[in-house]
Structure 1
Amino acid sequence: MAQDPVPPVPARRSPITLGISFKMYFGYAQTLEWCRQIAQRLNTHPAVVDGRVSLFVLPSFPAIAPVLEIFADTPVEVGGQNLYQSPNGAYTGEVSGAMLAEMGCRYVEVGHAERQRLFGEDSEIIAAKTQVALGHGLVPVLCVGEAQRGEPEQAIADCRAQIDSALGRATPTQRAQPLVIAYEPHWAIGAAQPASLPHIAAVCQGLREHLNSHPAASVIYGGSAGPDLLTRLAGQVDGLFLGRFAHDPAAFEAIVDEAAALASSH
């Protein structure tokens, strides 16, 4: 049966954003070796240097300092996979947004489905973390996604509600700051069949329209993101939030090249 066509291509926002979170897959030495290879491969990449393709890397907390050093003279930005929902205090084992910002981090991931499922993070915690991140000048990589498989219209409504809830504590000034929405349907995580291209395109476009009043916001897709996905989505997303496929530096570079080609065609 033929798949439904992808909706018409809207004007694409710039730049194309590509990010990767290592979760807890990489060890310390492996993290640094991957980052060194990426720094060598992409430090002079024209589309990265001129800003048409924006890159960020989210390593585990113990590796953030050396990763910042590796990427210090490159356009690649670094961030944390999490932060605590209070600015500071007696919270043993937690990491503050203030410390991430002081170190030189630019991004921080907030509200991933795994944090919700494994650690009980609810909408109140996600809103508090988003506010703390924005309050320290960090760009939240706000993860959203619908729990149940259904029509794109319902997914859009669910994800719009999640975005509005996450920004509920933000001040008007904070709402104008850069924000990355990472869309991944929760029902597709670990599933045998990923979300269809028309579903991804429709939902991401619906979220982009919802964020029209936030010119510094972008919508990237994070589910089973791999080669040719950007091209097959025909500009319906502002980038990708990559996972295990990009653990190979050469694979990450290939997607950067794909993004550069798309950026050059617009």
Structure 2
Amino acid sequence: MAAPTHLRRIVGVSLKMYFDLHNSIRYVQGVLQLDGLAWNERVDLFVIPDFISIMESARILEPSHVMLGAQDTFWEEDGPYTGEVSPRVLQQAGVKIVEIGHAERRAMFGETDEQVAQKAGAAVRNGLIPLVCIGERTHHNIASAAVGLAIEECRPQVASVLAAIPDDAEVILAYEPVWAIGASEPADPDHVVHVTKELRRISEGRKGVTRIIYGGSAGPGTFARIAEGVDGLFLGRFAHDIQNLRRVIIEVGGA
């Protein structure tokens, strides 16, 4: 069932490689149970399992509003690219959103802004919504300097993607300061709001929907403190407990 993708807040979770096949499917079944809650709260909900779980996850989520995501894609639809996953195949499998350029992939696999932009373009060509992870690597202690340096580092990440996709394409920008991923606390709310407001200015004037979400140790209470700058949250291990995901949906919907 297709979900509206405008004027709605959004919450999602990536399972990365934390779960085995059985637990991934059980988790997706749990997310399905939150579909009605999220819909009533006017919150779009997405879940991003591993590639092996996608087909069964699509079957489970097919009658719901929950959007299925993939953790990566390649920038070509077909060809001699051993080990890569085609955006065309993802779309055929029922995927709606594809996560691109996560900090871990940039660091561990050397992904560049150019490659991330190519993947975003391929995603849009195949009817997928690119969820593009952006964020600065270094945490600066002086608040005024930290915002400016973060924007300077994030600007080319955003600009390269927007240049690679049609002006009317939908895109989700996930602001995830690298230093906040896996930390004990999310980034300072003022920092997040200042940076995400500037990211929104960079994307102003586009015909397509651009939503900005925050990730990086996000949890209860995070959204209310940064709602001025973002449209939702991108959750990690905190949301592996379905009841925690439920709490966040309620908070985001009611904030």
* TM-score, length-scaled by structure 1: 0.87
Give the counterpart letter for 1:90 in structure 2. Answer: P
2:174 is aligned with 1:182:
yes
Question: Residue 243 of structure 1: CA displacement?
Answer: 0.1
Contact 1:14 1:238 (8 Å CA) reproduced: no
Question: Residue 189 of structure 1: CA displacement?
Answer: 2.9
**May I ask how many residue pairs the two structures share in their alignment?**
244
Question: Residue 138 of structure 1: CA displacement?
Answer: 0.6
Question: Residue 261 of structure 1: CA displacement?
Answer: 1.1
Which residue of the partner structure matches residue 137 of structure 2? Answer: 147
Which residue of the partner structure matches residue 3 of structure 2? Answer: none
Q: 1:51 and 1:196, CA in 2 relative to 1: closer, same or farther beyond 3 A?
A: closer
Structure 2 CA distance for aligned equivalents of residues 80 and 14 of structure 1: 23
Structure 2 CA distance for aligned equivalents of residues 51 and 147 of structure 1: 34
2:6 is aligned with 1:16:
no
2:243 is aligned with 1:253:
no
2:160 is aligned with 1:165:
yes
Q: 1:256 and 1:33, CA in 2 relative to 1: closer, same or farther beyond 3 A?
A: same
Which residue of the partner structure matches residue 82 of structure 2? Answer: 92
1:59-90 CA-to-partner distances (Å, cap 9, x unmatched) read 00010011111111111000110001222111
Contact 2:103 2:178 (8 Å CA) reproduced: yes
Structure 1 CA distance for aligned equivalents of residues 155 and 222 of structure 2: 23
Q: 1:19 and 1:176, CA in 2 relative to 1: closer, same or farther beyond 3 A?
A: same
Contact 2:181 2:215 (8 Å CA) reproduced: no
Look up the SS of the partner of 2:200 in the other structure.
Answer: helix
Question: Residue 153 of structure 1: CA displacement?
Answer: 2.1
Pairing of 1:155-234 with structure 2 (within 5 A)? 155-170=150-165, 174-191=166-183, 194-214=186-206, 215-234=208-227
Question: Residue 92 of structure 1: CA displacement?
Answer: 1.4
Look up the SS of the partner of 2:18 in the other structure.
Answer: coil
Deviates more, 1:240-249 or 1:200-209: 200-209
Structure 2 CA distance for aligned equivalents of residues 102 and 112 of structure 1: 23
Structure 1 CA distance for aligned equivalents of residues 185 and 254 of structure 2: 28
* TM-score, length-scaled by structure 2: 0.90
Pairing of 1:125-144 with structure 2 (within 5 A)? 125-144=115-134
Question: Residue 235 of structure 1: CA displacement?
Answer: 3.4
Structure 2 CA distance for aligned equivalents of residues 246 and 232 of structure 1: 19
Question: Residue 154 of structure 1: CA displacement?
Answer: 2.3
Give the counterpart letter for 1:203 in structure 2. Answer: V
Question: Residue 104 of structure 1: CA displacement?
Answer: 1.6
Give the percent of matched residue pairs that are identical in Structure 1 and Structure 2.
39
Which residue of the partner structure matches residue 94 of structure 2? Answer: 104
Contact 1:15 1:51 (8 Å CA) reproduced: no
Question: Residue 192 of structure 1: CA displacement?
Answer: 5.5
Q: CA RMSD in A?
A: 1.7
Structure 2 CA distance for aligned equivalents of residues 43 and 180 of structure 1: 20
Give the counterpart letter for 2:158 in structure 1. Answer: I
Greater RCO structure (CA 8 Å; 6+ sep): 1
Question: Residue 239 of structure 1: CA displacement?
Answer: 0.4
